[in-house]
Amino acid sequence: KKPNDPPLYGQFVPFDVEPPVLHSRGENDKNMNNLVKRIPTSFPGCDSIIILQHDPVYTLGTASDPTFIHGYNTDGINGDKSDVPIVRIERGGEVTYHGPGQLVVYPILDLRGYKQDVHWYMRALEEVILIALEKAGIEGASREKNLTGVWVSNKKIAALGIKTRRWVTMHGLAINIDARSLQNFKGIVPCGLEGREVTCLRDEVSVIEETSFSMKDVTIYVKEALEQVFGVTLLSAL
């Protein structure tokens, strides 16, 4: 699993601080520019892992059916008394929600240094989630046949949606950490799966009274899982 020629390295944004929250378009550009400026110039062209929290947003994949957003109209406005913006992006999959309380992970990897197989990559991301959830105290997390993502108690706790271009990966995964992450799922049919519920780590952890964790803790669990699954060492870009 270790990268081949040319040498590939890992970057982790951030490592020793809470994941940043991206805001509206103008502020997003400013925040991302600041992050880019903080990436050492000694790391050009390296594999990267960006970990963050979004402000509330519904995202549609390239072929997503917008009718899975309740009250959606042809102007791209959510008419279901919600001010959550709707954005169509390049990933695969149906509609999903991102927001505070949810950890979003964007691996930018050159799969030529790992395995040139998109299905393998998807299963590898699911394995990262499973390992991280186990570290956080979740029991019984699993995959479901013919579906992407990770499930606990028959509810979806993490979603995937990716794109590759010339074997370089884009987009990634999202793990619901606390109740804030669930607030706006009621406005959609998550991933286009009728009748299926979503859940979060905080609601599913086995011994909540004995388990205390922050978003930073889960970020570190994900970092460790990425290192284990992809056979790399992630370096802080800060």
Active site residues: 191
Residue 171 in tokens: 């987009």
Q: What are phi and psi of 227, to 5 degrees?
A: -60, -40
Q: In angstroms, rounded to a whole number, what is the distance separating the alpha carbons of residues 175 and 150?
A: 9
Q: Provide CB contacts within 8 A for 198, sequence distance 6+.
A: 155, 156, 157, 176, 182, 185, 190
CA-CA-CA-CA dihedral for 54, 166, 33, 214, to nearest 10:
40
3-class secondary structure, 192: helix
Q: Is 138 helix (H, G, I), strand (E, B) or coil?
A: coil
What DSSP line would sit under 63-75, residue for residue?
Answer: T--GGGBTTB-TT
How far, rounded to the nearest angstrom, does the alpha carbon of residue 75 sit from its chain's CA centroid? 27
What does the alpha-carbon distance between residue 93 and residue 76 come to, in Å, rounded to a whole number?
18
